[in-house]
Amino acid sequence: MSMLFFYALIGVGLFTLGLLALVVQPHLLQKILALNVMGSGVFLLLVALGGRSQPVVDVVPQAMVITGIVVAVSATAMALTLMLNLSRSSPGAQLPEDQSADS
Amino acid sequence: MEAVGLWQSAFDLMLGFSLFGLAWRMLFCADLFKSIVLFITFGLLMAIAWVRLEAPDVALAEATIGAGLTGALLMSAFAKLRTLDNSLKSGQPLLPRPRLHVINFWIALLFTVLLTGGLAYAVLSLPSHSPGLSDAVMSQLDSSGVTHPVTAVLLNFRGYDTLLEMAVLLLSIQSVWSMAGMSDAGEVHTSPVLNVLIQLLSPVLILVSAYLLWVGAHAPGGAFQAGSILGAAGVLLVLSGRPLFNLKKSWLIRLMLVAGPAAFIALATLTLINEGQLLKYPVANAANYILLLETLATVSIGTTLLALFVGSQTEAVQQDQSHQ
Amino acid sequence: MIWNNWIPLLVVLSSLLPGLVIFTLSEKQWRVRTFLNIFGAVAKLGLVGWMLWGVYHEQHFETRLALLPDLDLVLRAGPLALFFVSLSTLLWLVTTVYAIGYLEHSPHRSRFFGFFSLCVTATVGVALAGNLITFLLFYELLTLSTYPLIVHRGTEEARKAGQSYLTYTILGGALLLFGTVWLYSLVGTLEFTPRGFLSQVDAQHHPTLIIIFVLLIGGLGVKAALIPFNGWLPKAMVAPAPVSALLHAVAVVKAGAFGIIRVVYDVFGIDFAASLGVTAPLAWLAAATIIYGSLRALFQDDLKRRLAYSTISQVSYIALGVAIAGPLASIGGVVHLVHQGVMKITLFFCAGNLAETLGVHKISEMNGVGRRMPWTMAAFTIGAFGMIGAPPVAGFISKWYIGLGALEVDQGWVLLVLAGSSLLNAAYFLPILHAAWFRKPPEKWPHEHDFGRHETSLALLIPPLITASLALLAGVLAMLPFSPLEWAKLISVREFYTP
Amino acid sequence: MIAYLPPVLLILTVIWPLLLAIPLLNRYIQNAPMLALLPAVCLALYPGVIDYNVEWILLGSGIELNGNNRWILLVSVMIWASSALIDKSHGEGFTHSSNSSFYFLAMGGQLAAILSTDLIGFFSAASLMGYAFYGFLNSSIEQQYRRYWNLYLVFLVVADLALFEAMIMAVSATEITRFNVLRWIISDTQNAQIYVWMTVTGFALKAGIWPAHRWIIAAYTGTPLSVKILLFGVPLMTALFGLLKWLPNWDNSLSIPGSVIMLWGLMTAIYALIKLLQNRQRVLIPLWLIFLVSGVFLSVIGAGFVVTQDWSDYKSYFFISLSLGGFSITALIIYLTIGQNQQHLSAPFSSAGQTEDTTQAQQRENKVLTLLSANYLVTRLQYLQVAAFQLVDVTRQRAVNQLNKIMDEPGWTVAITFFMLFILIIVSLSL
Amino acid sequence: MGAQLIQVDWAVVLIMLPLSAAMLGFLLPGMARNIGLLAALLILFTVVGLGWQLTQTGVYSHVAGGWLAPLGIQLHADGFSLLMLATSAIVGVAVSIYSTGYFKAADDQRFWPTWLLLWAALNALFLAADVFNLYVTLELLGLSAVTLASLTGSKDSVSAAMRYLLSTLLGSLAFLLGIGLLYHQYGSVDIAILSERVNDSTVSWAALGLITAGLALKTALFPFHFWLPPAHASAPAPVSALLSALVVKASFYILLRLWLGLFDFQQDSTVANMLGILGATAVLWGSIQALRQIRLKMLVAYSTVAQIGYLFLAFPLAQTGGNRVWYAVAYLMLSHALAKAAMFLVAGNMMLFGGHDRIVNLDRVVQRLPVTVAAFGLAGVSIMGLPPSGGFIAKWLLLEAALAQGHWGIAGIMMLGGILAAAYVFKVLGYAFIPSPVPHQAVSVPARMQWMALLLATLAIMAGFVAQPLMQLIGIGALFDSTGSMP
């Protein structure tokens, strides 16, 4: 039973790690990856804690997570397209405020 | 029995820490290409974790969409980025060092650690046994028209969420087309090995997606997983250079994209008029309705994912600057 | 009797609707615009006349519209309200005729007359307001509708004048709002009741009531141009003459003074305010403004700026009259509301005539202007003598009553202030008259327009003469039943003091 | 119908000249002044006493003809007529020039003052007459005397103020403005003293008593004969008449002011006598006579206070003596000036010898004036203002730069760190 | 006929209509504009129908899929959601008619389907009664808003859209984590059930923190407002009108509903005071920044940041009792939506007219675009909170509550905010009157674009006169009166 909590804690760890990367990394691709990692973290927490119900595992969080994954992929696709547009108009795919810090 | 339990917990520990380590390496490594590859492996490890947590459907979805398709998108985006950004041209893509002000970095790190501690404390304070909605799901399962609980929840109990989610998918392709413009994939030079592989694989993939669609009613599977495999097949075909279809003019593509959400809405209005409630399938032929919905959803999910991949490939046609 | 409930609303609408229609008219349809203007003014005059007659015979006119769940818009025509409404209606008609003549060839007249009628609607609304929130509503509407008039010329200077006007009035409006809400949360009602409704508030609230009084008077002081807040008034002189006439004689400045009367008499009640000890500082402030205004007027060479500073000092007479808590002084203060309006508008009309016909703006250019435009200067002289307080003209009467009222409550120092200010008035008006009448005119005026037989176009000449004769009649025939003085006495008896 | 004639006549005497003052009318009517005086003449000759009170004019004033003011009315009508006649014969024709309206206004003002029955009526009529007379004389006076003649305007304003204060004192104490009632009621000594001081200073200034006499000299020397005649008859006589009507006759508690007035009158008389003795030109004699008469008159009134036996029975004699004095002076003026067939008058103080030192005096005086005058003050003020504005500008600029520095937007990293901090705070609240 | 009308499930139609219209528009790009317009009008009628139904039968709730609360999803419509639906309908119709004039034919197929999806997300969000459903609608709303924001394709609009996307995704993830924790602690995602079960436990506090932070980021409260001004200023005018008026309000709506429903377990008011302080700084920061801007759209965007500050000022007031404050907040949301949409449409007109929107050289625009400047004036009156307008009613109620409870700080901030708002509105109006040094060739602005701006502005003013009936409408379902859960 403590394994589920271990996975949940890993989920929380991934969430906060992604948040840190989101803050620290200037490159947009890194930020998008960070967002995906945070998403996986949350999903891990959801499903892991779902397993606490006896005889059969709680299915509703799993349905939520499937919806979440699909939403995450569409968000990532949009983010990548935006990043490409941005890198077309200004070198180095970065937000303007990070740009100035970097160059 | 004791030994098996021991082994399992060791495996879980190893899996958990490797997941965390992989994520750390991926997010803080200097090379973009390396971080993308690490991301794909991270996706696969996540799939294994889902299996360990007895969530096969999620594992399937994670593997196909999370690792597979997102990886493909990232790869094509990275390729595009390299052609654009001359700084990355020199083979070894130097990632700009995160020259963040040192104090900011340490403050952020401190907050992250504290936040992890706080959330962990909250999670640990959760009760060790809570039935959640599992017994509610089990009791209503037989009247839901399918035997597999996940599909029942997805398609029947929380069907309205899935409807909105289909709308999100439609929105994603609409937005990618509106941002990147709708043009076909560029010419792709492929090696003969790839061609042979694709010729072998694509029929198998289509067969597997059909099987997954069918099995979803009583075993892990279902519209999303089948759709994503269909999409993967489409990506392979596109990568092999065969122009599957001409995106711009063909309203067929638009019809396939819209098929899933349109089916949902049609069924919703139908049930609203007959049964008085949104998406309330009559218990007798609930299964048929769900199957119909799933097939159309699979078609539209597959096409959407393919179109997303093709969309990110193209040159973004610069919109005319009338307004700026 | 039900008709009586709708007349106040009709009075307000009779200038709002034409105004809104005028906005839509193009420059070419000037006939329709003039007709609408005149029709609106005459209709309002008729309605006000009806109400005057009605109120004289103790009838009751009130319109009530729901605004907030427990607060509603009230338009009530009491004697004091009618006093101010009749002044603004009469002078609006005269100023419209003048404005039509004045803006003969200038652009954007539809916009001008549209805002002009909105401004009068706001003034009438301020006058007829039955509770503090309706007063606040029309008070703010007045700021909004006068701003475009000030900025009408479209020059950078006009814009700057508009900005300074706004900084003061918006600040004033904010103070007023704060005070009103505080009062409402403290007392629960805002209705204007004769002799005030705050006397039975228990003692421990008195310090808060004093602060609320300071806030309200501060908010109103901006428009009544009391000492610290009158920076905007001289700058607003950049506006065309009918606007500065309307602003200074009728609308904006009077709304402030009228507001002070309302707050002191109908919200706090004069004896409660006196017992709170707030009327004395107000009196000193008003006295200081009187002296300050006259002193600054001495050094102004531009005619309209000198008149503006004289307005600052004249309006404070009303505040002074109100602040000396004596029945006679309040009659003096209230009657000065009309007298100052009539006299000041004459002076501004003449200033406008001089500017329009001879291009004369500075006092130094006014030598011998009496020869060239005798009638205008005659009107100006009557107005000037009224301002000084020379007997036949109306100004004398209000000074007379304020003086008597001061002596009645043995505030001797007020007499000194009156004497000092009349001396200063003489000091800055008589040189103008002397220059106009007794000096030789220059060979060529700055830029002279020839208006044929008469000294200037009739539309520019008749209004000042009308208002000058009004000033004279208000002075000479002061004891007639419907004269301003008699009506002020009626107000004092009915609304301010228990007989 | 006859019964209504007297009041109509009474009103006409006052209204008729005022109407004629309007330029349109008097331009077309031949010898307008005569016509204007016609109703006044008939009134003067009317035997009985007429009074007509109107409640709604000027806070309830009225006009009446009684024993006393009949004499004064007669003399003033006679003076106005003689000046009109001389003017017509000598051809200046001021009656037809642009300032004729002032002429009629002054005439109307004086008649109304003489006939008025209450304080406010007299006060307003007198001030109308004063300002009109100033306007009338200003256009016909020579340029060099104009500076002193302007003093009259200043004195008029100050006098009006003083009389205004006096009136307010009287009315606030008794609420009644009628002359005949006024005498007996002001009892409170403190108010009465102020009232007397104010009245005396007011009318003294109007009558050009000793310290404020320069403008009479300038007027007398700088104007043609027809105007000269009016000099005593209009401003001075009305002022002295006003003094008589306004001053109450009380018990001896007013002895101090009374004695001061007496002294003041004597001083003027002595001044007039000295001037009379030094005088070389015969034509100036009436000028000093004017001072003499007004000085004597004032001292007699002052004595009236001090002597304190019953004042009222001598009253009528005062009026008669005043009118006689006025009549004799005008006659003398006419006789002397016509007799001297207009040889050039040299003002006593502007004789050729003194021209250059007067100009120096004027310069000195100007310098003093500018030094003390307001615009020196104003230039200091403006200098300070400019300095203040610069200071404000500099500080504002520095503040704006400072503001810009801290106000530029927090970038992505700072904002998201705040985000983490925000969650952290709330989560920590649970402990 | 009336009886039947009441039976119709207007709420469901309100969600299905825009979704189907969006799909139709996606399917037939050529017809996108006409479909969009027709859908807009139909939605308006549906909202009227729903309003009529609510007034007759009180709160409306609909069980999706027939499964009762813990398992299935519920739709719930009460006074507050009706108000927000009506606001989005009015602003939506006005903006739709405006966009027919604003967008060229090429852009239609990119604008209309996304806009209809956004509208569907809005309607679904205001009707949702299930927390996970709120997450999905919030996600749909965020993504469609980002797509619309990047419509112009210029450099700063793409970078602003990117920043907006990252922030909205971060906000949604935090929101999702919060919901996950709540679900696993209390076993349900339905708001009604949760509001009964939530008690003072560490998980509730963690969830409160995450959800409040996520939604505050999406509502652009003070420290997290950095993404809003560039996004709203560089988006095309009708889009920035939608973003400022509706999208930003949706996340505040969720925060308010959860705050009243779930998070009323807090004894002390530390969190409420914290939100209040952030709101106050937002008011000052937004107004001062607005004063510093040279471009009109940036000015209007910063004014949004300030007005959002006002919304959060109400939290500390409501904490110490006095539920009329929430009526004031609802009223402020309505009048701000109308006025701000009008202001952005005006900015769009001026951009089209002069080719730029630098405030300093708005060349004598007052007589060349009289209707537009009138609209800006009226909208400014409502933003400043001067009497005849809806903004004044909201400000009056808030001030009354603040003074009754002795919150001098909040009252002072509100006065200062009003004065600063007057400063920047009249700064623009001042320049509208005078000629600009650099004259430029003027483009004529279609009449319907100007009249739509004026229509919205007049509605903002008229809102001031209909306070009483509107309050009753908002009161249906007594969300604000009882501090407890939804019935």
Q: Helix/strand/coil (H, E, C) string of C285-306? A: HHHHHHHHHHHHHHCCCEHHHH
Phi, psi of D49 (to 5 degrees): -100, 130
DSSP conformation class of C76: E
Which chain A residues are closer than 8 Å to D416 by Cβ? 19, 22-23
Burial of D77 (0-12, 13-18, 19+ CB in 10 A): buried
* Residues E89/E51, Cβ–Cβ less than 8 Å: no
Inform me whether the C-beta atom of residue A22 falls under 8 Å from chain D C-beta atoms.
yes
Residue D356 lies in a domain: no
Average pLDDT over residues E37-52: 94
Which chain B residues are closer than 8 Å to E64 by Cβ? 159-160, 277-279
Same domain, D44 and D152: yes
Among the listed residues D126, D101, D77, the one whose alpha carbon sits nearest the alpha carbon of residue D29: D101
Residue D349 lies in a domain: no
Average pLDDT over residues B246-272: 84
Which chain B residues are closer than 8 Å to D427 by Cβ? 115, 118-119, 122
pLDDT tens digits, residue range B142-163? 888 888 888 888 888 888 999 9
Residues in chain B: 324
Same domain, B242 and B305: yes
Same domain, B35 and B167: no
Q: What is the extent of the structural domain holding E336?
A: 325-487
Q: What is the extent of the structural domain holding A31?
A: 2-96
Average pLDDT over residues E68-72: 80
Confidence of residue E306 (pLDDT cuts 50, 70, 90): very high
First to last CA, chain A: 51
Residue B104 lies in a domain: no
Residue B124 lies in a domain: no
* Residues B188/B270, Cβ–Cβ less than 8 Å: no
Same domain, B216 and B310: yes
Strands C62-68, E73-77: pairing is unpaired
The string over B6-16, giving b where at least 16 C-beta atoms fall within 10 Å of a residue's C-beta and e elsewhere, is: eeeeeebeebb
Q: What is the count of residue pairs from C and D with beta carbons less than 8 Å apart? A: 75
Burial of E264 (0-12, 13-18, 19+ CB in 10 A): middle
Confidence of residue B168 (pLDDT cuts 50, 70, 90): very high
Average pLDDT over residues B265-284: 84
Residue E307 lies in a domain: no
Most confident of C336-340, D192-196, D214-218: C336-340
Average pLDDT over residues B70-79: 89
Residue E423 lies in a domain: yes
Which chain C residues are closer than 8 Å to E393 by Cβ? 67-68
How far away is chain D from the Cα of C132, in angstroms, using its nearest Cα? 36
Q: Report the half-sphere exposure of E247 (CA within 13 A, side-chain side).
A: 31
Q: What residues form DSSP beta bridges with A94?
A: A27
Average pLDDT over residues D310-314: 60
- Asked if D423's CB is within 8 angstroms of E174's CB, the reply is yes
Residue B116 lies in a domain: no
Give the nearest chain D residue to C477 (CA atoms): D57
Which of A16, A17, A20, A22 best probes binding to D when mutated, by most D CB atoms within 10 angstroms?
A: A22
Same domain, D321 and D389: no
Same domain, D69 and D202: yes
Residue E346 pLDDT more than 80? yes
* Residues E148/E235, Cβ–Cβ less than 8 Å: yes
Sequence-distant (≥ 6) Cβ neighbours of residue C248 within 8 angstroms: C233, C307, C308, C311, C344, C348
Same domain, B89 and B170: no
Q: Which chains touch D (3 or more CB pairs under 8 A)?
A: A, B, C, E
Residue E34 lies in a domain: no
pLDDT tens digits, residue range C156-175? 899 889 998 999 999 999 99
Separation of alpha carbons C124 and C15, rounded Å: 9
Angle ∠(B124,B130,B135) on CA atoms, nearest 5: 155
CA distances from C424 to C295, C338, C429, D150, E445 (A): 7, 22, 9, 17, 57
- Asked if A95's CB is within 8 angstroms of E165's CB, the reply is no
Separation of alpha carbons B148 and D341, rounded Å: 141
Residue B99 lies in a domain: no
Inform me whether the C-beta atom of residue E447 falls under 8 Å from chain C C-beta atoms.
no
pLDDT tens digits, residue range E144-164? 999 999 988 888 899 999 999
pLDDT of residue D106: 84
pLDDT of residue C403: 86
Number of domains in chain D: 2
pLDDT of residue B316: 40
pLDDT tens digits, residue range C152-161? 888 889 988 9
Confidence of residue D350 (pLDDT cuts 50, 70, 90): very low
Secondary structure in 3-state letters for chain D: CHHHHHHHHHHHHHHHHHHHCCHHHHHHCCCHHHHHHHHHHHHHHCCCCEEEECCCCCCCCEEEECHHHHHHHHHHHHHHHHHHHHHHHHCCCCCCCCCHHHHHHHHHHHHHHHHECEHHHHHHHHHHHHHHHHHHHHHHCCHHHHHHHHHHHHHHHHHHHHHHHHHHHHHHHHCCCEHHHHHHHCCCHHHHHHHHHHHHHHHHHHHCCHHHCHHHHHHHHHCCHHHHHHHHHHHHHHHHHHHHHHCCCCCHHHHHHHHHHHHHHHHHHHHHHHHHHHCCCHHHHHHHHHHHHHHHHHHHHHHHHHHCCCCHHHHHHHHHHHHHHHHHHHHHHHHHHHHCCCCCCCCCCCCHHHHHHHHHHHHHHHHHHHHHCHHHHHHHHHHHHHHHHHHHHHHHHHHHHHHHHHHCCCCHHHHHHHHHHHHHHHHHHCC
Same domain, B70 and B154: no
Residue E121 lies in a domain: no
pLDDT tens digits, residue range C276-313? 888 889 999 999 999 888 888 888 888 888 999 999 99
Separation of alpha carbons E313 and E201, rounded Å: 26
Phi-psi region of B145 (alpha: psi -120 to 50; beta: other; left: phi over 0): left
How far away is chain E from the Cα of D402, in angstroms, using its nearest Cα? 13
Which of D409, D413, D421 best probes binding to A when mutated, by most A CB atoms within 10 angstroms?
A: D413
Sign of CA pseudo-dihedral E439, E440, E441, E443: negative
* Residues C89/C339, Cβ–Cβ less than 8 Å: no
- Asked if C480's CB is within 8 angstroms of D157's CB, the reply is no
Same domain, D412 and D340: no
pLDDT tens digits, residue range A42-91? 999 999 998 888 788 888 999 999 999 999 999 999 999 999 888 888 77
DSSP conformation class of E484: S
Separation of alpha carbons E487 and E477, rounded Å: 7
Instruction: Give the pair of three-digit tokens for residue D157.
Output: 């304003």
Q: Name the residue type at position C409.
A: V
Same domain, D417 and D288: no
Separation of alpha carbons B95 and A80, rounded Å: 17
Give the nearest chain E residue to D411 (CA atoms): E226
Percent of chain D with pLDDT over 90: 0
Same domain, D320 and D393: no
Residue E222 pLDDT more than 90? no
- Asked if E153's CB is within 8 angstroms of A82's CB, the reply is no
Residue A101 lies in a domain: no
Separation of alpha carbons E4 and E188, rounded Å: 35
- Asked if A97's CB is within 8 angstroms of D420's CB, the reply is no
Confidence of residue E335 (pLDDT cuts 50, 70, 90): very high
Classified as helix, coil or strand, B51 is helix
Separation of alpha carbons C303 and C348, rounded Å: 9
Separation of alpha carbons E133 and E189, rounded Å: 9
Instruction: Give the pair of three-digit tokens for residue E193.
Output: 């059930």
Separation of alpha carbons E206 and D377, rounded Å: 71
Interface of E with A in 159-198 (CB under 8 A): 159, 161-163, 165-166, 169-170, 173, 176-177, 180, 183-184
Same domain, D265 and D316: yes
pLDDT of residue D372: 56
CA distances from E195 to E131, E186, E265, E268 (A): 11, 10, 9, 18
Number of domains in chain E: 1
End of a domain among B26, B60, B94?
B94
Residue B86 lies in a domain: yes
- Asked if A38's CB is within 8 angstroms of E173's CB, the reply is yes
Give the nearest chain C residue to E421 (CA atoms): C170
Phi, psi of D197 (to 5 degrees): -55, -50
Furthest CA-CA distance within chain E:
68
Q: What is the extent of the structural domain holding B83?
A: 1-94
Among the listed residues D242, D276, D10, D277, the one whose alpha carbon sits nearest the alpha carbon of residue D126: D242
- Asked if E158's CB is within 8 angstroms of A86's CB, the reply is yes
- Asked if D410's CB is within 8 angstroms of E270's CB, the reply is no
- Asked if C184's CB is within 8 angstroms of E388's CB, the reply is no
Give the nearest chain E residue to A89 (CA atoms): E155
Interface of A with E in 34-63 (CB under 8 A): 35, 38-39, 42, 45-46, 49-50, 52, 60-61
Output the CA torsion B92→B96→B99→B104 (10° steps).
-110
Most confident of B12-26, B84-98, C376-390: B12-26
pLDDT tens digits, residue range D229-271? 787 778 888 888 888 777 766 555 666 777 788 888 888 888 8
Instruction: Give the pair of three-digit tokens for residue D213.
Output: 């006499």
Confidence of residue C119 (pLDDT cuts 50, 70, 90): very high
How far away is chain A from the Cα of B34, in angstroms, using its nearest Cα? 11
Among the listed residues E214, A5, A46, A20, the one whose alpha carbon sits nearest the alpha carbon of residue B121: A5
pLDDT tens digits, residue range D290-311? 888 888 878 777 777 766 555 5
pLDDT of residue C124: 93
Average pLDDT over residues C243-263: 86
Separation of alpha carbons C120 and A28, rounded Å: 60
Same domain, D380 and D244: no
Same domain, D315 and D417: no
Furthest CA-CA distance within chain C:
72
Number of domains in chain A: 1
Phi-psi region of C58 (alpha: psi -120 to 50; beta: other; left: phi over 0): left
How far away is chain A from the Cα of D397, in angstroms, using its nearest Cα? 26
Interface of E with B in 307-336 (CB under 8 A): none
Predicted complex ipTM exceeds 0.95: no
Residue B34 lies in a domain: yes
Same domain, B152 and B301: yes
- Asked if D414's CB is within 8 angstroms of B118's CB, the reply is no
Same domain, D333 and D376: no
Q: What is the CA radius of gyration of chain D?
A: 32
Q: Which of C374, C415, C478 sits opposite D58 (nearest CB)?
A: C478
Q: Which chains touch B (3 or more CB pairs under 8 A)?
A: A, D, E
Separation of alpha carbons E141 and E251, rounded Å: 10
Helices (H) and strands (E) in chain C, counts: 20, 2
pLDDT of residue E441: 76
Residue C118 pLDDT more than 60? yes
How many other CB atoms sit within 10 Å of the CB of residue D387? 10
pTM greater than 0.95: no
Residue A79 lies in a domain: yes
* Residues E375/E454, Cβ–Cβ less than 8 Å: yes
Among the listed residues D42, D76, D103, the one whose alpha carbon sits nearest the alpha carbon of residue D329: D76
Percent of chain E with pLDDT over 70: 98
Q: Which residue has the tokens 């729903």?
A: E50
- DSSP code string of B173-214: HHHHHHHH-----------HHHHHHHHHHHHHHHHHHHHHHH
Same domain, B309 and B161: yes
Residue C68, H or E segment:
strand C62-68
- Asked if D415's CB is within 8 angstroms of E224's CB, the reply is yes
Q: What is the extent of the structural domain holding D401?
A: 371-429
